[in-house]
Amino acid sequence: MRANIPKAPSQNEMMRQVQKMQADMQAKQAELDAREYEVSAGGGVVKVKINGKKEILNIDISPEIVDPDDIETLSDILVAAVNESIKKVDSTNESELGQITGGLSGLGLF
């Protein structure tokens, strides 16, 4: 009885697979770069709009949060909103690109 050993892909087949994965990743990255996200902080009094390239597009501040005697609170809420929007972009990119690479990007291959 002979064992049924699967045939290993040829080098050309492997290169085609890698090239397809790279093309898929580039297309997905372009799609992710074009996306826009909106994140709010401080119970919705500050909203940040950011794109997939982590460029801040807009910051909307509700008038009730603007207190000239407490600029520090406004500053803290702005920082929180911007940081949260960057985390959202990173998380989405990692998740969606990971679907293409099957986790290979964590190994430094892509």
Does any domain span residue 2?
A: no
Does any domain span residue 4?
A: no
Does any domain span residue 6?
A: no
Report residue 34's pLDDT band, with 50, 70 and 90 as the boundaries.
very high
| 52 alpha carbon, distance to own chain's centre | 6
Q: How many domains does the chain have?
A: 1
- 45-70 pLDDT tens trace: 999 999 999 999 999 999 998 999 99
Range of the domain at 83: 11-107
- Identify the CATH number of the domain in which residue 54 sits: 3.30.1310.10
**Residues whose CB is less than 8 angstroms from the CB of residue 88 and which lie 6 or more positions away in sequence, other chains included:** 37, 39, 50
- CA distances 76 to 61, 81, 82, 107, Å, are 13, 9, 10, 36
